[in-house]
Structure 1
Amino acid sequence: MKIVSAEVIITCPGRNFVTLKIRTEDGVHGLGDATLNGRELAVASYLRDHVCPMLIGRDASRIEDTWQLLYKGAYWRRGPVTMSAIGAVDMALWDILGKSTGMPLYKLLGGASRTGVMVYGHATGRDIPEALDEFARYAEAGYQAIRIQSGVPNMRSVYGVSKGGGTYEPATKGRVDEQYWSTEKYLDFAPKLFEAVRERFGFDHHLLHDAHHRLTPIEAARLGKAVEPYRLFWIEDPTPAENQAAFRLIRQHTVTPIAVGEIFNSIWDCKQLIEEQLIDYIRATLTHAGGITHLKRIADLASLYQVRTGCHGASDLSPVCMGAALHFDLAIPNFGVQEYMGYPEEALEVFPHAWTKDGGLMHPGEAPGHGVEIDEKLAARYPYDPAYLPVARLDDGTLWNW
């Protein structure tokens, strides 16, 4: 199981993805996702220039030891670039282990804890009627859990709403888009959106919403309290989480569940949040939080405090990560829900996959490893295309949290 090559593949079949391909002397290869939205080339360079040379000659089956080497051996720990690179290596090594044993990843993780993985879709609209029509489309497709975002009256732009219909994609090709935000307008409007959902659809669906770090703790507390009658499954990222203790204030004022963590890189980013039971769902990802090995540690810690997973699964993570995430979701005991935004058709062609979807449930499949491959010839037809996430400003021009 000696590693003989490690290659970084960059492709843009609808959006940019960075894939690590590790091959052993036995001819077995594994894939890992190293995509960091808007900073893809930084991770690619970190892998090519620093990590890949360290892997040659190592035993691919020593997954834990390799993780420790890449984390402790660099001295400079954590951060999105480092942890995304480690996550890609870890994912690829687990893929190799699955293929070498002929077992799907979820069986290596202890076997299935459920028959399928509940996923949630994204219903968006420029106004409430349009958002409700999108919600209906997801409901008719069998989704049990649906996130809803809507344009806010008299606000120039809003997070989470697709541009002219279709799948929501925040990144803009070749430039940084500046958007505008008004917390006051949003807080007055948001409860009306959820009231409209419950009036039309009742309480049969899990209702999710993302505040995307826009609120202060007390503003988040106000929102959580205001929407309690509509029984949200969660409010996501209500406030920036660098100050984990800030979530105590939110907890003091509302019983609306809280989800956070899609930008977390390690267990240290969420340790206090979990131990003090300040959140209900942890949204860290296999790619950005150091792979299967490290996210399993986070999930195990969370399970001690009845915190469940709700992993980020936007299309800024490649199908490789989605495939591995579905295996992870199927196996762990404290799974909550998995985000699934879907992918452009060309991306699914570049990344053939074993997962299946039936309404609002997904299954990773029985292929050895994580079940996702890459068509390198097809990938080469889609060169890297720079794109950037937006920034947000208040009406007076102050730069705000996007």
Structure 2
Amino acid sequence: MKITAAKVIVTCPGRNFVTVKIETDEGVHGIGDATLNGRELAVASYLEDHLIPCLIGRDPRQSEDIWHYLYRGAYWRRGPVTMSAIAAIDTALWDIKAKLADMPLYQLLGGASRSGVMVYGHANGRDIEEACDEVARYREMGYHAIRAQCGIPGLDSTYGVSGDKLFYEPADADLPTENVWSTEHYLRHVPKLFEALRDRFGFEPHLLHDVHHRLTPIEAARLGKDLEPYRLFWLEDAVPAENQEAFRTIRQHTTTPLAVGEVFNSLWDCKTLIEEGLVDYIRATVVHAGGVTHLRRIADLAALNHVRTGCHGATDLSPVCMGAALHFDLWVPNFGIQEYMRHTEETDAVFPHAYTFENGYLYPGEAPGHGVDIDEDLAAKYPYQRAYLPVNRLRDGTIWHW
């Protein structure tokens, strides 16, 4: 069996997605997600100009060897562009292998470890009252776990707060918009949000919160300690994680569970965090962490250290990534939770999929492969549109972490 062709499909049904389609001489094809929010064309070029020419004629069943060929065979390793490109190819190869076996991907990985995948949604509001009402709406939709964000008095805009409450997309402009950030305002206000949520909903729903890399380690430690009475499921991305050791400071001061990793692209980005037990959930994704092959290795190391998975699942990951992630989630022994931001109707039409949502859980379905395909004719009707994520500045004009 040989790979006969591979191509990159860039489409924008409301936001940009990059998809790889690999074809074989036996008529079986596989697809993978290569989307890198705000840098989509960089990955597309890396695939078309450097990786795809190396695939033609190879046996698609040799996914392990191909992964190492693309990773070890490149002098310049790692990085989000490289690993997203490798991930797309790896995901497509797993899709092909599962189709050849005539089984859903989770069976090829080792079978189901649970009956469904618990997911969390995003509730946000301009103020605490509106955020509480949105949490109530997500509860009515069946969610057992909900991420809560609200506007901060004194700031014109805040991460995670949007006009559209269901299809939040932060890449919002042809050139980066600039937001103003104040750590002082934020730290004073966030505990009030979770006090109000627990007063209204009690301790039955799981509540999560995303700091989005805005704090220093000691500031994050203070926030974690202030939130302890409200028993969060996790506090996400409290500090930028390039310095993994920074989490030691947070860990020394709070028992609030910590989650990080959506921007990680290899095992080395989280090795210290996992081995020293500095986080409770690792949020690396299929598309940005080298595909199913590499994410399995991250999960295995995490399992040895009582760390569970909590894969990123925002709208900048296509339904292809979500489908692959759900098969991974259903199998992985140390599963924690899966983020689930719903795609628009236009996106769902471009990417027909087998996964379904019911009562707070996602189910990957029983279709052979990862259960997601692409309608190329429909995709062609949505050309690429440049879009950037915002940037942050402190009130004195200093560039801050996005």
Q: TM-score, normalised by structure 1?
A: 0.99
Q: State the partner residue of 2:149.
A: 149
Structure 2 unaligned regions, length at least 5? none
Are 1:383 and 2:383 counterparts? Answer: yes
Is the 1:313–1:340 contact (alpha carbons within 8 Å) kept by the matching residues of 2? yes
Runs of at least 5 residues in structure 1 that lack an aligned partner in the other structure: none
- Aligned residue pairs: how many? 402
One-letter amino acid of the counterpart of residue 397, structure 2: G
One-letter amino acid of the structure 2 residue matched with residue 203 of structure 1? F
Query: Aligned residue for 1:327?
Result: 327
Within a 5 Å distance, the mapping from 1:264-279 to structure 2 comes to 264-279=264-279
Q: Distance in 1 between matches of 2:344 and 2:218?
A: 39
Residue in structure 2 matched with residue 259 of structure 1 by the alignment: 259
Match of 2:179 in 1: 179
**1:248 maps to amino acid:** R
Deviations 1:192-230 (A, max 9, x none): 000000000000010000000000000000000000000
Shift of 1:166: 4.3
The residue number in structure 1 matching 2:71 is 71
Report the Cα distance in structure 2 between the residues aligned to 1:342 and 1:256, rounded to whole angstroms: 27
- TM-score for both structures, normalised by structure 2: 0.99
What is residue 204 of structure 1 aligned with on the other side? 204
Going from structure 1 to structure 2, the CA distance change for 1:195 and 1:307 (only over 3 Å counts) comes to same
Corresponding letter in the other structure for 1:332: V
- Report the Cα distance in structure 2 between the residues aligned to 1:108 and 1:372, rounded to whole angstroms: 16
Local SS of the residue matching 1:326 = helix
Instruction: List, as ranges, runs of 4+ consecutive aligned residues in structure 1 with deviation greater than 4 Å.
Output: none
- What is the RMSD of the two structures over their aligned residues, measured on CA atoms? 0.7
Q: CA deviation at 1:136?
A: 0.2
1:209-261 CA distances to partner (integer Å, 9 max, x unpaired)? 00000000000000000000000000000000111011000000000000000
Change beyond 3 A, Cα 1:347–1:164: closer
Q: Return the letter of the residue paired with 1:19.
A: T
- What amino acid sits opposite 1:294 in the alignment? H
1:129-186, CA deviations, whole angstroms, 9 ceiling, x for partnerless residues?
1101100000111101000000001112111001354422111131211001000000
Matched residue SS, 2:245: helix
Any idea what SS the aligned residue of 1:303 has? helix
SS at match of 2:306: coil
Aligned equivalent of 2:239 = 239
Q: Is residue 2:129 matched to residue 1:96?
A: no
Following the alignment from structure 1 to structure 2, what is the Cα–Cα distance between the partners of residues 306 and 399? 36
Q: What is residue 222 of structure 2 aligned with on the other side?
A: 222
Specify the alignment match of 1:105 in structure 2: 105
User: Cα 1:83–1:316, aligned 2, differ >3 Å: closer, same or farther?
Assistant: same
CA shift, 1:9, in A, is 0.3
Does the CA contact (< 8 Å) of 2:151 and 2:158 recur in 1?
Answer: yes
Amino acid at match of 1:370: H
Indicate whether 1:20 and 2:20 are aligned: yes
Letter in 2 for 1:382: Y
Q: Which residue of 2 aligns with 1:55?
A: 55
Letter in 1 for 2:77: R
* Structure 2 match to 1:169: 169
| Contact 1:156 1:181 survives alignment (8 Å) | no
* Identity between Structure 1 and Structure 2 (%): 72
Cα distance in 2 for residues equivalent to 1:119 and 1:164: 20
The residue type paired with residue 325 of structure 2 is A
What code does the residue aligned with 1:224 have?
G
Equivalent residues in 2 for 1:341-360, closer than 5 Å: 341-360=341-360
Q: Is the 8 A contact 2:123 2:165 kept in 1?
A: no
CA separation in 1, counterparts of 2:148 and 2:160? 9
Cα deviation digits, residues 342-382 of structure 1 (max 9, x gap): 10100000000000110210110000000000000000000
Residues in 1 aligned to 2:341 and 2:329: alpha-carbon distance in whole angstroms: 16
Matched-pair contact (CA < 8 Å) for 1:173–1:385: no
- Give the aligned residue type for 2:316: D
SS at match of 2:392: strand
Q: Distance in 1 between matches of 2:113 and 2:388?
A: 38
- Secondary structure, aligned partner of 1:388: coil
The corresponding residue for 1:188 is 188
1:334 and 1:271 map into 2 onto residues whose CA distance is: 17
